[in-house]
Amino acid sequence: MNATVKPVLLTIAVDRAAGPVVEGEAVISTEGFSPRYDLDRWTGVISKPGHKLEGVSIRDKILFFPTAKGGIAAGWAFHDIKGKGIAPKAFVFGVTNPVMVQGAIFADIAITEGWSPDPLAVIRTGDRVRVDPARRVIELLERAP
């Protein structure tokens, strides 16, 4: 991979992080997330009526959520959606809860918590970003066309 040579347009520092380095398309949500309440775990599409991301597929995306909702389900559910091939590449949370972290680590999906600056102000859905948990940074690589 030649990912490391791409110029970085902007860097977001995160407080806590785990998992592999990943690159992908950002999806920004102003609403929190629960795999139980919000996600159709058979298609990978956000299915809760009225959710800010209703109808959006999370597959291979880098998902930005301000908060976590619920829930114990994520413990197994992230592992399940990864097995089904519909998992995102990373979860980026403002504030998360332990189960999201346990679930992401169990499924080997990158996860971060806490951010500065707030991605809502600087990242847009469709932008290409890299999540580097070991360095505790999220890097903006390319603006959406």
Footprint on this chain of another protein (rule: CB under 8 A): 16-18, 32, 36-41, 47-49, 67-77, 79-84, 95-99, 101-103, 105-106, 111, 113
Q: Which is nearer to another protein, 18 or 141 (CB)?
A: 18
- Distance, in Å, from the CA atom of 145 to the CA atom of 15, rounded to the nearest integer, reads 30
- Distance, in Å, from the CA atom of 28 to the CA atom of 19, rounded to the nearest integer, reads 20
Least Å distance, CB 50 to another protein, is 8
Q: Which is nearer to another protein, 108 or 117 (CB)?
A: 108
Least Å distance, CB 124 to another protein, is 23
Least Å distance, CB 63 to another protein, is 16
DSSP symbols for 62-101: EEEEEEB-S-STHHHHHHHHHHTT---SEEEEEE--HHHH
- Distance, in Å, from the CA atom of 9 to the CA atom of 7, rounded to the nearest integer, reads 6
CA dihedral for 23, 27, 28, 29, sign (positive or negative): negative
Q: Which is nearer to another protein, 88 or 103 (CB)?
A: 103
Q: What is the dihedral of CA 11, 17, 18, 19, to 10 degrees?
A: -20
Q: Which is nearer to another protein, 24 or 93 (CB)?
A: 93
Q: Which is nearer to another protein, 42 or 126 (CB)?
A: 42
Least Å distance, CB 135 to another protein, is 15
Least Å distance, CB 82 to another protein, is 7
